[in-house]
Amino acid sequence: MTTVLLLLGGLGCLLLGAELLVRGASRLAALVGISPLVIGLTVVAFGTSAPELAVSVRSALSGGADVAVGNVVGSNIFNILLILGISALITPLAVTSKLCRIDVPLMVGCSLLVFLLALDGRLGRLEGALLFLGIVAYTGFAILAGRREKPEVQEEYADAFGTTRRRERPALMNTLLVLAGLLLLVVGADWLVDGAIAVARLLGASELLIGLTIVATGTSLPEVATSIVASVRGERDIAVGNVVGSNIFNLLAVLGASALAAPSGIAFSDQALQRELPVMIAVALACLPVFLTGGKISRGEGLYFLLAYAAYLTYQIMLAQQPGPAAAPGMAFYAVLGAFALLPLLPALLPRRARNS
C-alpha cells in the first residue's frame, strides 16, 4: 500500500508541478514580450518534459541509471507512437510550419548522437555537457526561427497561449507559481522513483523495464494532455511541435543533466544499447513522413503508430517474463525495426497520382 501511495502521490505532484511551472513560466515570458510561438516551442514543450527531467536526475543521483535511461527512451517512444497516433486519429496532422520540418530530422540526429555517445556503455559528464550545450543552442535557434514564422502559425500559437499582458497577475505571483511547480516536481520525482524501484523489486522486474513503462508513461502525461487538446482544437502545429520539442529536450537536456549530476555519469545496460535505443531510433525515423510526404500524418498512419506501440508493450511484457538475462537480439529483430521505420516512407516513393488516389 505504501508503494502504491508513493507512486500515486509522486505522479500527482509531478503533474501539478508541471502545470504550475508551465503556467507561471508562460505568463512571465509573455510579460517580457516573448512571442506566443516561442513560448509554445520552448517554455511549453520543455515545461511538459519537466517531470522527465526531475525523475531522471533524481534517479541518476541515487544510482538508478536504468530508471533514468528507461524514462527518457520510453517517454520518446510513448510520445511519438501513442501521442501522435491518438492526435492523428482525432484529426489528420497537416503541419505547415517549416520549423517542424527542421525539428524532425534534428530529433532523429539527436537520437543517433545519444546512441553513438553511449556505445561504450556510459554517458560521462563531458558527453552530458555536450548534450546540454545542444539544448541551449536549440533554444536559441527556436527563438530566432520563431520570429520568421508564417503569420498563420503565429496566430495559432497566439490563440493557444495568449498574447495579452496580464496586469492582474503580476510577475511576483507568476514567479511563485514557477517556484511552487519546481518544488512539487522535486518532491514528486523523489516519491515516484522510490515507488518505481520498490515495484520493480516486488515484481522481480528490471528497473529498466519499470522506467520504460510505468515511469515513462507517468512522466509523459503532460504531453498527452497538451497534444490531444491541441488536436481537438485544430491546432496541429502545436500538437506535433510539443511532441518533437519534448523529445529533443529529453535527449539533450534530460540525459545531459542526468549525466552531469551523477559523479561518474550514467551507465547504459546491454539491453538498453541492443534493444531499446535502436527501437527509439526506428520510431524517430518513422516520423520522417511529417516532412517527406507533404507535412501530413494521416489517420491511417496514426493507427499504424498506435498498433506499433501496442506491439512494443507486448514485446516488453514477453521479454520481462523470460527467466535470466535477456539474450542479444538477432538480425530478425533489426530487420523488423528497419521495416517499421521505412514503411511510413512508402507514400513518398509512390507517384503523385497514386498518392492522391
Residues 103-122: tens digit of each pLDDT: 888 999 999 999 999 999 99
Residue 34 identity: I
Mean per-residue pLDDT for 144-171? Answer: 62
Distance CA 82, CA 303 (A): 9
Distance CA 343, CA 124 (A): 35
pLDDT over 70 (residue 18) = yes
Residues 327-338: tens digit of each pLDDT: 667 666 777 787
Are 211 and 69 spatial neighbours (Cβ–Cβ below 8 Å)? yes
What fold, for 2-349?
A middle domain of Talin 1 (1.20.1420)
Are 114 and 135 spatial neighbours (Cβ–Cβ below 8 Å)? no
Q: How confident is the model at residue 289 (pLDDT cuts 50, 70, 90)?
A: confident
What contacts 96, CB < 8 A, 6 or more positions away? 150, 152, 153, 236, 237, 295
Residue with cell 538477432: 330
Residues 66-96: tens digit of each pLDDT: 888 998 999 999 999 998 888 888 888 766 6
Give this prediction's pTM.
Answer: 0.80
Q: How confident is the model at residue 297 (pLDDT cuts 50, 70, 90)?
A: confident
Report the pLDDT value the prediction gives residue 118, as an integer from 0 to 100: 94
Are 55 and 207 spatial neighbours (Cβ–Cβ below 8 Å)? no
What is the DSSP code string of 304-323?
Answer: HHHHHHHHHHHHHHHHHTSS
Distance CA 150, CA 32 (A): 22
Are 7 and 199 spatial neighbours (Cβ–Cβ below 8 Å)? yes
Maximum separation of any 2 CA atoms in the chain, in Å: 61
Mean per-residue pLDDT for 257-279? Answer: 90
